[in-house]
Structure 1
């Protein structure tokens, strides 16, 4: 059964980037987990509308195949839907038998909708209890750093999830920002000036508002 912590009373419409991720304890396909157990590393928490559906199945196959790429970025994956644990287990077996792929991350059961409502995964206007296709990038301090939401009819992109994760890590490590369409290894941008002295120190640089540099290479 889902158990939300006392600090998880966010109303869905108020959960924003920069907020602490609401903590919870719940049963998963890999045992009971506490969200707080993931602190110290990156976590992508993502919801899917329902088990045994075509779009969700395609996502779980793709994410499982890419699990080593997320692991290389020290990022765990954690899925959640309103389906029961036993539905999750049956679906995992069907995916293994049908696609030859073993789902490599835990799937949380949320039949009480507590987690879905705390994170805003369930729309107040939804005709049913199915979660939206929401993705939350949670940093090692337990802070939500990015959110992406798709309708149930459109599958999310694993490549975009990896790109956003790499961008967040690069921003933190190098104190830079990333331009449109950035991918790892490409040039990054310097943050804008925050005061007059640093601005004027740039002299005659006409592109003072758009300063790029090569991405730092890790040894």
Structure 2
């Protein structure tokens, strides 16, 4: 499939029509992080549950972390706005309440192709591929920090997305890595490139090394900075 982004690539500074009006992507982000997620179609069941998840409580959690949400599918703004009424009712809100983040109009599939978001296994009534459930996380430098690609048939886990953004933000400013199943507040791992002497000054709360049969001192933990 043509298009697509790799980790470290800069996001294209595209212009798009959205449910909040026209945006230029870099200007819209400013100095924020970005959670960009595509969904196959409006007025479909799994997508409705996902957009509900990101509408209220999750949107607020992301905003507190300086993360802006942007959604995208191959539907028009008019369809997005009509579908928003269903999302609101599903969420127990008034139908006319505005969603707190933009949904991009990509009915020509130009952005989906540019970003590599199409799912070749899922097609619309005309036999054209629809957008997969892609997750992109961009940093304030506009570079891609995370990419997750789900098929159209599988809904996302927003707890995991929130967890991984917390890890990305922590490791962007501290010389640490987060171990398997890490959660905010738990111990982190000292990077192997940091010497023992440097680690003592960087991590005043202490560094704890796990003894291993190899004798190599690479499993080093420290409380979350």
Q: Does 1:210 align with 2:200?
A: no
- Aligned counterpart, 1:172: 172
For 2:37, which of 38, 46, 63 is the aligned residue? 46
- The one-character-per-residue Cα deviations of 1:161-182 (angstroms, maximum 9, x if unpaired) are 1011100000012121110111
Q: Which runs of 5+ in 2 are unaligned?
A: 200-210
Pairs aligned (count): 203
Change (3 A) 1:201 1:77: closer
Note the C-alpha offset of 1:199.
6.8
Q: Which runs of 5+ in 1 are unaligned?
A: 1-9
- The one-character-per-residue Cα deviations of 1:14-44 (angstroms, maximum 9, x if unpaired) are x211101122111111111111111311001
For 1:117, which of 110, 113, 118 is the aligned residue? 113
- Aligned counterpart, 1:193: 193
- Aligned counterpart, 1:94: 86
> Scaled by the length of structure 2, what TM-score is found?
0.83
- Aligned counterpart, 2:208: none
Q: Residues of 2 paired with 1:201 and 1:183: CA distance? A: 25
Contact 1:78–1:108 (CA<8 Å) still a contact in 2? yes
- Aligned counterpart, 2:202: none
Note the C-alpha offset of 1:129.
2.9
- Aligned counterpart, 1:35: 25
CA RMSD across the alignment: 2.4
Note the C-alpha offset of 1:210.
1.1
Q: Does 1:78 align with 2:70?
A: yes
Change (3 A) 1:200 1:155: same
Structure 1 stretches of 4+ moved >3 Å:
123-127, 198-202
